[in-house]
Amino acid sequence: MVNVLFDALLGMRHESAAQFLRLPGDDSISYRSFYEQVSRYAHALVAHGVQPGDRVTVQVEKSPHALALYFATVGVGAVYSPLNTEYTVGEIEYFVQDAEPSLVVCTPASAHDVRLIAKKAGASVATLGSDGSGSLGDTARGQANAFVPANREQGDAAAILYTSGTTGRSKGAMLTHGNLLSNAATLKEAWAFTEDDVLLHALPIFHAHGLFVANNTVALAGGSMIFHPRFIVDHVIRDLPAATSFMAIPTFYTRLLADERLTPEIVGDVRLFVSGSASLLAETHLAFERRTGHKILERYGMTETTMITSNPYDGFRKAGTVGRPLPGISVRICDAETGKEVPPGEIGALEVAGPNVFKGYWRMPEKTASEFRADGYFMTGDLARIDADGYITLVGRAKDLIISGGYNVYPKEIELLVDELDGVVESAVVGVPHPDFGEAVVAAVVVDPKKITAADSLMPLLKGKVAKYKQPKRYFIEDRLPRNALGKVQKTLLREKYRQCFT
């Protein structure tokens, strides 16, 4: 029997004594030990009635046990559906009702409330703590240390990841064994991962970056990971000297830059720093290079496609861009209405085709059909432009486009200008209702209070730098910008907060 994804990631190394996970306190788990742990969890899933094709909804803390559960779910042929650990019980009810899982795995602390939700969906519940405690851990103990993976082919779903839902109902993106394996293989080659690599893993494992990009790529290469439960600056600084690679969201880099212990010496053996999941400011990119001598490699992907583009591992990395399309992946920039490609340098809608593109939204065939062109290209919803060298710059989401007085305003363009103002730490630009212009440009800014004390003082500062219709008509000083777990600014919240500022 063949299980496309499992066999490639773990099957070939199930007898290897090589280190896979390095844990706090000098503990480690070899590939062989991890495979045995995965096998026990696979048998535990079967004991709970999970069959190939069933959904397994998971909301547990990051741990080696949680990672083993992911591999076990893939191995038994079920569909892994992780949920953000910050979601409340009220929030997860929608996901459980929508996915109709056979099994919901949660923390022991949340079991009572989750059972009430799961019962409505006809799902059973098992619990798993970060130390392996809980009913699923109890079932796994004593099970056999080997199992025969269920037969799964390229087109079979391996995971359902829900989109963030910032613009409405969250959609379950179905990613196949072929999607995940092709992307891991592409990244392994593009980023030169080998069995000698040690990835410092401090990302959550409920989204594509931490779960698939990091774990799948390292496992396919036969490398190892320093496995942190969460990002803590002190712990990352401590372990960077032992790492060869680091994957992060932009927030991680800004926090590291704020620590004087970040020096060229402690990153002397790191060959690769990757950033993704949210836009990396060019300022952060350049500041990191000045401090450490390393250029961060920025890449671009999304839940429905995993990774699409990347700055080169060997070659020029352009700050502010997300690089070129990865091998085997086709990208084009089009007029959103006509679907015709726009000339280089012009802004358009980014579309993608390739083996990485998901098979569709769970139980939403009409929505799936509406997101694909007739020739198979997926419409990402992102606005971008491509330069003469083939490097892509993201301008924003199509839903964030502001139309003020009939003119298009791209928030990213204005944010870059506002961020350059003396005293501005970061900004987010959104459009809100305006009685004359339809929409007006407003900016939320985080500032240095020693340099900026009043929002009105920012009003004249873009004069002459950009057309008047693009200039923010109001500025709002915020202590911090609202972000989701991936570090993306939640502009929906800002639009709602300021929507009546001109009425």
User: Which residues are registered as beta bridge partners of 286?
Assistant: none
Asked if residue 373 has pLDDT above 60, the reply is: yes
Domain co-membership, 108 together with 239 = no
Q: Is residue 202 part of a domain?
A: no
For 276-422, strand residue ranges (E) read 297-302, 306-310, 324-325, 330-334, 348-353, 360-361, 378-386, 392-397, 402-404, 407-409
Q: Are residues 125 and 8 in the same domain?
A: yes
Q: What is the pLDDT of residue 468?
A: 86
What average pLDDT does the chain have? Answer: 93
Q: Compute the average pLDDT of residues 291-308.
A: 95
Alpha-carbon distance of 50 to 48, in angstroms, equals 6
Q: Of 351, 372, 397, which one is at a domain's C-terminal end?
A: 397
Express as a percent the part of the chain with pLDDT over 70.
98
Cα 297 to Cα 208, 263, 310, 323, 337, distances in angstroms = 17, 18, 7, 9, 33
Which structure tokens are listed for 409?
Answer: 């305003």
Residue range 329-341: mean pLDDT, rounded: 92
Structure tokens at 308: 């699409």
Q: CA-to-CA distance for 73 and 205, rounded, in angstroms?
A: 14
Residues 69 and 170 in one domain: yes
Measure the CA–CA gap between 31 and 36, rounded to whole angstroms.
Answer: 9
Residue 166 banded pLDDT, cuts 50, 70, 90? very low
pLDDT at residue 372 greater than cutoff 90: yes
Query: What residue numbers bound the domain in which 269 lies?
Result: 231-397
Give the pTM: 0.85
Average pLDDT, integer, range 369-393: 94
Shared domain check, 343 and 407: no
70: phi then psi, degrees, rounded to nearest 5: -60, -50
Assign 240 to helix, strand or coil: helix
Please give the torsion angle defined by the CA atoms of residues 354, 356, 362 and 364, in that order, rounded to the nearest 10 degrees.
-20
Least confident piece of the model among 181-185, 246-250, 271-275: 246-250
Side-chain-facing half-sphere of 249: CA atoms under 13 Å: 19
> Is residue 352 within 8 Å of 281, Cβ to Cβ?
no
- Kindly report, residue by residue over 466-481, the tens digit of the pLDDT: 888 889 999 999 999 9
Helix axes 64-75, 31-47, angle to 10 degrees: 60
Q: What value, to the nearest 5°, has the Cα angle with vertex 502 and ends 496 and 503?
A: 90
Query: In which band, very low, low, confident or very high, does the pLDDT at 21 lie, cut at 50, 70 and 90?
Result: very high
The reply to whether 292 and 267 lie within a common domain is: yes
Closest by CA to 467, choosing from 384, 420, 393, 404, is 404
407 and 384 in a common domain: no
Closest listed residue to residue 323, CA positions, set 341, 305, 297, 346: 297
Provide the 10 A C-beta neighbour count for residue 434: 18
Q: Does residue 205 fall inside a structural domain?
A: no
323, 450: one domain: no
Q: Indicate whether 42 belongs to any domain.
A: yes
| pLDDT surpassing 80 at residue 278 | no
Domain count, the chain: 3
Whichever domain contains 392, its CATH number is: 3.40.50.12780
The mean pLDDT of 268-295, rounded to a whole number, is 91
- pLDDT at position 170: 80
Q: Is 169 exposed, middle or buried (0-12, 13-18, 19+ CB in 10 A)?
A: exposed
Nearest to 172 by CA among 184, 183, 157, 191: 157
- List, in sequence order, every residue forming a beta bridge with 353; answer none if it has no partner: 330
> Does 220 fall in a domain?
no
End residue of a domain, out of 350, 371, 397 = 397
β-sheet with 103-106: strand ranges across = 124-127, 103-106, 55-59, 79-82, 157-162, 172-176, 360-361
| Element holding 120 (H helix, E strand) | helix 111-121
Considering the domain architecture, whether residues 358 and 425 belong to the same structural domain is answered as: no
359 touches 155 (CB < 8 A): yes
Angstrom CA distances, 494 to 296, 443, 462, stand at 29, 9, 21
Q: What is the pLDDT of residue 164?
A: 62
Same domain for 175 and 39, yes or no, is yes
pLDDT of residue 167: 42
Tell me what percent of the residues of the chain surpass a pLDDT of 90.
80
Nearest alpha carbon to residue 12 among 31, 33, 28, 37 = 31
Regarding predicted confidence, which is higher, 485 or 447? 447
- How big is the chain by its Cα radius of gyration, in Å? 23
- 3-class secondary-structure state, position 401: coil
CA dihedral of 451, 453, 459, 461, whole degrees rounded to 10? -10
In a domain, 201, yes or no: no
Q: Report the CATH number that the domain containing residue 424 is assigned in CATH.
A: 3.30.300.30
Residue 434, pLDDT above cutoff 70: yes
| Coil, helix or strand at residue 497 | helix
Domain assignment present for residue 200? The answer is: no
Please give the average per-residue pLDDT across 448-465, as a whole number.
92
373 with 482, same domain? no
Q: Which pLDDT tens digit goes with each residue over 195-215?
A: 999 999 999 999 899 999 999
Mean pLDDT lowest among 103-117, 167-181, 294-308? 167-181
In a domain, 224, yes or no: no
Give 3-state DSSP helix, strand, coil % of the chain, rounded to 5.
Answer: 35, 25, 40
Co-location of 56 and 86 in the same domain:
yes
458 and 487 share one domain: yes
In contact, 35 and 43? CB cutoff 8 Å: no
Of 397, 425, 458, the one marking the end of a domain is: 397
Structure confidence by residue, pLDDT tens digits, 66-93: 999 999 999 999 999 999 888 888 889 9
DSSP code at position 407: E
Residue 416 within a domain: yes
Q: Encode pLDDT of 110-120 as tens digits.
A: 999 999 999 99
pLDDT of residue 243 exceeding 90, the answer is yes
Higher pLDDT among residues 54 and 496, named by residue: 54
